Amino acid sequence: MRQVPILTVTVIAAVCGAVFNGVAHSQTAPAPLVDRVEFPDGYRSSYTPLFTFDRPDARQIRVIYGNAPAASAPEGAPFPNNSILVMETYRPRLDAQNTPLRDADGRYLPDVLTGIFVMRKYRGYGAEYGANRTGEWEYAAYRADRSYLTPPRDSWTCASCHLQAGQSRDWVFRRNMLAERTSHTGAVPDVVLQQYAFLPSTLRVKAGTLVTWLNDDEVDHRLAVVSGPVIEGPLQPHGRNHRLRFNTPGEFEVACRIHPAMRSRITVDP
Ligand SMILES: [Cu+2]
């Protein structure tokens, strides 16, 4: 797990998800008026870091922590009572073109902590969201100085976004939380495997680049450099990653050992 340094905070409008972006600010919906979520004191030392992933669309790094009950939830099972999930959002360092800079692992570099989004599940919570209710979760977002980014009265925006995760996932976007048990790295993929194809099928990188493949198919693929090594074992579906660093300049064909028609080319420049 990459360590994220403690950084200063700036006041910017951080948003939790796509839905909030599209909602007019004047629009309101029912929400709790009292903060029963509470700022998660000491979460960095006492919670379990669950996952870090980069979001190119929002130009954010997101770091997820869970308290002991949340971290103990088996994959796919509902979260236990008094689960607390914390999502830190960081603005990444940007280059002159406003493109996120990347470290040697291809990951964004945290610059500024922009928000601390908290969701807490407790018996009886959530009813005040009305039609936006997501089980027994309530939400709030804070800045590092504990002031509100999203106060309880506005936290229906969080609930309405988490509605998309659905009851079967206990209203939590959990695909990105598979990291500890699987090979989902949270890196932005360079190549996506979809419908038994490499997308894109040609890629040009500089020597030393760590290339990330993400399997968005329904089945296993098995990646191999033709006349070269198999890239780890089977690459399982539904968002798992494999990564390989290309240090030697040249032309490489990457294929699937299970589906011979799946072929791609990677050009490595010096
Ligand atoms: Cu395949």
**Quick check: 1 pLDDT over 50?**
no
- Poorest-confidence range of 72-81, 135-144, 160-169, 224-233? 224-233
Regarding whether 206 and 162 lie in a shared domain, the answer is no
Regarding whether 239 and 173 lie in a shared domain, the answer is no
Regarding whether 36 and 167 lie in a shared domain, the answer is yes
Regarding whether 156 and 257 lie in a shared domain, the answer is no
For 106-156, list the strands marked E by DSSP: 110-121, 137-142, 148-150
**Quick check: 226 pLDDT over 80?**
yes
**Quick check: 13 pLDDT over 90?**
no
Contacts of 39-45 with CB under 8 Å at 24 or more apart are: 39/116, 39/118, 39/142, 39/146, 40/65, 40/67, 40/84, 40/86, 40/116, 40/118, 43/67, 43/84, 43/86, 44/6
**Quick check: 105 pLDDT over 50?**
yes
**Between these two residues, 143 and 22, which has the higher pLDDT value?**
143
- Poorest-confidence range of 119-133, 226-240, 242-256? 226-240
Please state, in angstroms and as integers, the Cα–Cα distance from residue 152 to each residue in 78, 119, 158, 172, following that order. 23, 11, 10, 18
**Quick check: 18 pLDDT over 60?**
no
186 part of a folded domain = no
Please state, in angstroms and as integers, the Cα–Cα distance from residue 38 to each residue in 84, 86, 192, following that order. 10, 11, 39
What is the pLDDT at residue 6? 39
Regarding whether 173 and 49 lie in a shared domain, the answer is yes
* Ligand 1 centroid from CA 59, angstroms: 31
2 part of a folded domain = no
Regarding whether 156 and 52 lie in a shared domain, the answer is yes
What is the pLDDT at residue 184? 66
* Ligand 1 centroid from CA 217, angstroms: 9
| Residue 237 near residue 182, CB atoms below 8 Å | no
Domain boundary among 177, 202, 230: 177
* Ligand 1 centroid from CA 214, angstroms: 12
184 part of a folded domain = no
* Ligand 1 centroid from CA 219, angstroms: 8
CATH number of the domain that 211 lies in? 2.60.40.420
Distance CA 65, CA 118 (A): 10
How many domains does the structure of the chain reveal?
Answer: 2
162 part of a folded domain = yes
* Ligand 1 centroid from CA 238, angstroms: 13
212 part of a folded domain = yes
Strand 60-66 to 48-55 pairing: antiparallel
* Ligand 1 centroid from CA 231, angstroms: 12
Average pLDDT, the chain: 87
* Ligand 1 centroid from CA 9, angstroms: 45
9 part of a folded domain = no
Token pair 């050009």 in the structure block, residue: 267
* Ligand 1 centroid from CA 74, angstroms: 29
Regarding whether 96 and 26 lie in a shared domain, the answer is yes
5 part of a folded domain = no
* Ligand 1 centroid from CA 243, angstroms: 16
Parent domain of 125: 18-177
**Quick check: 9 pLDDT over 60?**
no
Regarding whether 125 and 53 lie in a shared domain, the answer is yes
* Ligand 1 centroid from CA 207, angstroms: 26
Regarding whether 163 and 44 lie in a shared domain, the answer is yes
CATH number of the domain that 66 lies in? 3.50.70.20
* Ligand 1 centroid from CA 247, angstroms: 24
* Ligand 1 centroid from CA 222, angstroms: 6
* Ligand 1 centroid from CA 257, angstroms: 7
**Between these two residues, 98 and 124, which has the higher pLDDT value?**
124
* Ligand 1 centroid from CA 198, angstroms: 9
Regarding whether 213 and 106 lie in a shared domain, the answer is no
123: left (phi over 0), alpha (psi -120 to 50) or beta: beta
Regarding whether 155 and 22 lie in a shared domain, the answer is yes
